[in-house]
A and B are shown apart, each in its own frame.
Chain A
């Protein structure tokens, strides 16, 4: 469903070019939940953002459901993006619009006729359990509720793919769990393929069918929940997975560098 082929991203910082993502490939099958985990600056958000070309790859190709996004013109890309939902760490809701209007915006953007829009807005808010908040503004909601509105918005155009950029990183553990349950439900009930970036190992373990470990701008290994016999091999993968307390992760990380 999602194929990133030898994508890379370089930024110009001052006079130097910096590799955010070195040539990397990733393939996600339909219906899977692909996690990408790594420390800050590993390039995981950049990799995710290349999947809908919010970040234009310096080189490489991006395919969604067999369609090469990197070969599309601006109008075709807009069309293609309507079947790729996205949610963000800081929700990115329109602050001067109601929850219903936030969901409706993406339907308007897809030129859905007015009557159908109203119905779809209700359905989507229903899915995330916020039908009663339709007329409220984002500032009146809790963080978890805002993220659920963002999920409703991402679902409005019946996407095939949902991209999640650190969706629970601003939330407390209990709310995190409820958001993960919604994502699971969406994946199961609507067969939406999910690609999720996180730095929280518990989130990745709880939700993902595959986990890619990223370090220094490349995927260093890909772990699969259905193959527990395949143990992490890279030092980074090992300590990500076999520690129970996060402080020891940092402690070991420090040791490795000495």
Chain B
């Protein structure tokens, strides 16, 4: 217990750093990843704006980023992080690579939940003379709402764990703390504390996500 108490302020700082990294990357996933997911859905051959070349190019880019093992992506993007935030070290720098990974991750989940919408519902909107904007906001995002929230839950949880990996290359956060004290100094107490914090975070996110998705789902 002693070592944990002694490190209380460091633990607090680490939690804050983890939350920063997760928030930034998840925000990027929503702001950039969701529109890319919608684009993928709309341009898929046979869909509303079917466009095979565009679909292939965007799909290829998404797959490209997703096929990088995260740690390698992290290292590969060091120059890019330096360009964007002026440094390659710290939670902000790690957030750049986390965001780059989170965007295609969520984009695919968005695309998938849009594909689950029954075609007839979209067709009814087309038949009513609705514009693309009305179909996207009034039909796609409304009908896929539970799936979008579940996908977001999966994304947040994945990126809590990715952010721990980012800690190892100087990103800070809970993962960094676990490595420095728990692993390099053989301080089991700190290691256990870090794991408990991560478990609690993941449980809270999952619980909140499942609750929200169920509330939004009116399909019974």
Q: How far is the CB of A177 from chain B (nearest CB, A)?
A: 24
CB pair A54–B121 under 8 Å, yes or no, is no
Q: How far is the CB of A52 from chain B (nearest CB, A)?
A: 6
Given that A79-B129, A84-B127 are contacting pairs, would A96 and B138 also be in contact in the complex, using a CB cutoff of 8 Å?
no
CB pair A96–B218 under 8 Å, yes or no, is yes
With the chains together, A96 CA to B213 CA distance in Å? Answer: 12
Interface size on B, residues (CB 8 A): 24
CB pair A92–B123 under 8 Å, yes or no, is yes
Q: How far is the CB of A214 from chain B (nearest CB, A)?
A: 21
For the complex, is B143 an interface residue (Cβ under 8 Å from A)? yes
User: B residues within 8 A CB of A109?
Assistant: 125, 128-131, 134, 138
Interface flags for B113-125 (1: CB within 8 Å of A; 0: not) read: 0000010110111
CB pair B129–A139 under 8 Å, yes or no, is no
User: A residues within 8 A CB of B123?
Assistant: 54, 88, 92
User: B residues within 8 A CB of A90?
Assistant: 118, 120
CB pair B129–A86 under 8 Å, yes or no, is no
CB pair A93–B131 under 8 Å, yes or no, is no
In the complex, what residue of chain B is closest to A83 when comparing beta carbons?
A: B129
CB pair A78–B218 under 8 Å, yes or no, is no
Given that A96-B142, A109-B138 are contacting pairs, would A86 and B124 also be in contact in the complex, using a CB cutoff of 8 Å?
yes
Q: How far is the CB of A239 from chain B (nearest CB, A)?
A: 32
User: B residues within 8 A CB of A95?
Assistant: 121, 143, 218-219
With the chains together, A1 CA to B120 CA distance in Å? Answer: 26
User: A residues within 8 A CB of B220?
Assistant: 137, 139-140
Interface of chain A residues 166 through 223 with chain B (CB within 8 A): none
CB pair B142–A94 under 8 Å, yes or no, is yes
Q: How far is the CB of A99 from chain B (nearest CB, A)?
A: 11
With the chains together, A93 CA to B8 CA distance in Å? Answer: 54
Interface flags for A11-39 (1: CB within 8 Å of B; 0: not) read: 00000000000000000000000000000
Interface flags for A99-110 (1: CB within 8 Å of B; 0: not) read: 000000110111
With the chains together, A88 CA to B142 CA distance in Å? Answer: 20
Q: How far is the CB of B113 from chain A (nearest CB, A)?
A: 12
For the complex, is B145 an interface residue (Cβ under 8 Å from A)? yes
For the complex, is B216 an interface residue (Cβ under 8 Å from A)? yes
With the chains together, A106 CA to B125 CA distance in Å? Answer: 7
Given that A96-B143, A109-B138 are contacting pairs, would A86 and B125 also be in contact in the complex, using a CB cutoff of 8 Å?
no
CB pair B118–A92 under 8 Å, yes or no, is yes
CB pair B129–A108 under 8 Å, yes or no, is no
With the chains together, A22 CA to B121 CA distance in Å? Answer: 28
Q: How far is the CB of B130 from chain A (nearest CB, A)?
A: 4
CB pair B128–A106 under 8 Å, yes or no, is yes
With the chains together, A79 CA to B139 CA distance in Å? Answer: 19
User: B residues within 8 A CB of A85?
Assistant: 128
CB pair B121–A94 under 8 Å, yes or no, is yes
For the complex, is B126 an interface residue (Cβ under 8 Å from A)? yes
CB pair A139–B219 under 8 Å, yes or no, is yes
With the chains together, A138 CA to B121 CA distance in Å? Answer: 13
Interface of chain A residues 138 through 158 with chain B (CB within 8 A): 138-140, 150, 153, 157
> Which A residues have a C-beta under 8 Å from some C-beta of B?
52, 54, 77-82, 84-86, 88, 90, 92-97, 105-106, 108-110, 137-140, 150, 153, 157, 163
Give 15 CB contacts A-B under 8 Å: A77-B129, A78-B130, A78-B131, A82-B128, A88-B123, A92-B124, A94-B138, A95-B121, A96-B219, A105-B128, A106-B128, A108-B134, A109-B134, A109-B138, A153-B124
> Which B residues have a C-beta under 8 Å from some C-beta of A?
118, 120-121, 123-131, 134, 138-139, 142-143, 145-146, 216-220
